[in-house]
Structure 1
């Protein structure tokens, strides 16, 4: 599968930045098995390409980021198939240490929330809405990790309120509970998200990846003390890298650093 053959997502590269757009606006960017497979392939490519350092994930159109599973397709085919890497090819991908930024351009419901919580940073347009609608159609948000991620990211009470009511919340409320980082006018969404990507790109690639690895791997440890003694492979690689020497040298020389990722 090649990016130019994708039918349900757009894979757009600009230097070290990937913009991955869910491209089914006619069904609010809901996903079916073929869309899941394309997205899994896209994330595989991002992970494997050393030239790509940051990815933005967004939805086509102005109405929706993603509203989850395409229920009409599911009713027609009965096909629940997803890749081993989970919903949208991302929710079960536990070894992607490159950053993911969600640009939430509208409705973010059900599986859209699964994608959102699998990203590291999130910016939303001011008209975006968020919710877990599964209980209202007789389902639960199982299998994508959201029920496990959400209380880790926003706290148990706010997570319970979202999960148990099925109600939608506004972008401002999502910001208040910590589900997203920023709210901006819709016209500024991609510019602000790219500015955040540029901030990340100004940092050393291995330092960013090591930091993400340490933060996420430490969540699996039972105590703070155990996290301090854990072996984090990317941290060791970073410390031995050329970039670890380049940063202090550039500072001493009063010049911008030249990061190589090595």
Structure 2
């Protein structure tokens, strides 16, 4: 298949949809695909026109994991070369996770292995009713510590449920994923993209600097050692946002009975 394997399209003010585009392989990942995604995320991090991002997959699949056809060459590499290759692959997850914009994963069909890691790197996950999630690493003889799964999954579902999924490699349907808090909501299949885009539009209507700072402080405080540490970080973040022009714009809009026009990043 020729052409880009990661597609990006603006969908309304401040909203972009990014589509993993290898439908003939259920959007299974390749090194080149991850490089495309990383490059796009680095570009979007500097793009003031994008305030919220929806990540999805083409043709009813989110992502079937890393393409196993590409693994044969990996296993023959010497250890240091293999480590460098795996680290390059992981850079896409870091770039996605570190985006200042809100990221919503719209999960349809299979969401497996490295594909699950991409969904975990999003801030919010919306699943279609037919979505199926699986941390399949151990099923192919690999460590479940792959592309951030061992760090992201316990922070989302808790240590016990994360070990359940990572050690068993079992499939979780959409309803169980919701009960585990692996996904934030479950919607009908034909409403998935519309629901994700509507949520993105709601977020994009807010102050960009407020969204970015909120995301940053929540991520940082997830690892805070104490309430005092978290409060100190919150105080600093509140000073940053309080001094932005968007606060004055919000006050003016409230007085004038109109929607605010936020601009500051």
* Partner Cα distance (1:233, 1:97) in 2: 17
CA positional deviation for 1:77 = 5.9
Residue 26 of structure 1, aligned match among 24, 27, 30: 24
Residue 36 of structure 1, aligned match among 31, 34, 37: 34
* Partner Cα distance (2:119, 2:249) in 1: 34
TM-score, length-scaled by structure 2: 0.89
* Partner Cα distance (1:77, 1:221) in 2: 37
CA positional deviation for 1:47 = 0.8
Deviates more, 1:244-253 or 1:108-117: 244-253
CA positional deviation for 1:234 = 5.6
TM-score, length-scaled by structure 1: 0.90
Residue 175 of structure 1, aligned match among 143, 157, 178: 178
Which aligned pairs between 1:135-146 and structure 2 lie closer than 5 A? 135-146=138-149
Q: Once superposed, which parts of structure 1, at least 4 consecutive aligned residues long, lie more than 6 Å away?
A: none
Match of 1:56 in 2: 54
* Partner Cα distance (1:236, 1:67) in 2: 43
Match of 2:108 in 1: 105
SS at match of 2:59: coil
Which aligned pairs between 1:1-150 and structure 2 lie closer than 5 A? 7-14=4-11, 15-62=13-60, 64-76=61-73, 78=75, 81=85, 84=88, 86=90, 89-91=92-94, 95-150=98-153
SS at match of 2:111: strand
RCO higher in structure (CA 8 A, sep ≥6): 2
CA positional deviation for 1:122 = 0.9
* Partner Cα distance (2:141, 2:131) in 1: 24
Match of 2:207 in 1: 204
Match of 1:190 in 2: 193
Contact (CA 8 Å) 1:127, 1:171: kept in 2 or not?
A: yes
Contact (CA 8 Å) 1:204, 1:243: kept in 2 or not?
A: yes
CA positional deviation for 1:147 = 0.9
- Name the one with the larger helix percent: 2
CA positional deviation for 1:93 = 5.4
Pair 1:20–1:6, CA change in 2 (3 A): farther
CA positional deviation for 1:75 = 1.2
Contact (CA 8 Å) 2:14, 2:52: kept in 1 or not?
A: yes
* Partner Cα distance (2:224, 2:208) in 1: 25
Contact (CA 8 Å) 1:37, 1:83: kept in 2 or not?
A: no
SS at match of 2:233: coil
Deviates more, 1:205-214 or 1:232-241: 232-241
Contact (CA 8 Å) 2:106, 2:196: kept in 1 or not?
A: yes
CA positional deviation for 1:83 = 6.2
Contact (CA 8 Å) 1:85, 1:93: kept in 2 or not?
A: no
CA positional deviation for 1:140 = 1.4
SS at match of 2:130: coil
SS at match of 1:122: strand
Unaligned runs of 5+ in 2: none
CA positional deviation for 1:248 = 1.8
Pair 1:232–1:39, CA change in 2 (3 A): farther
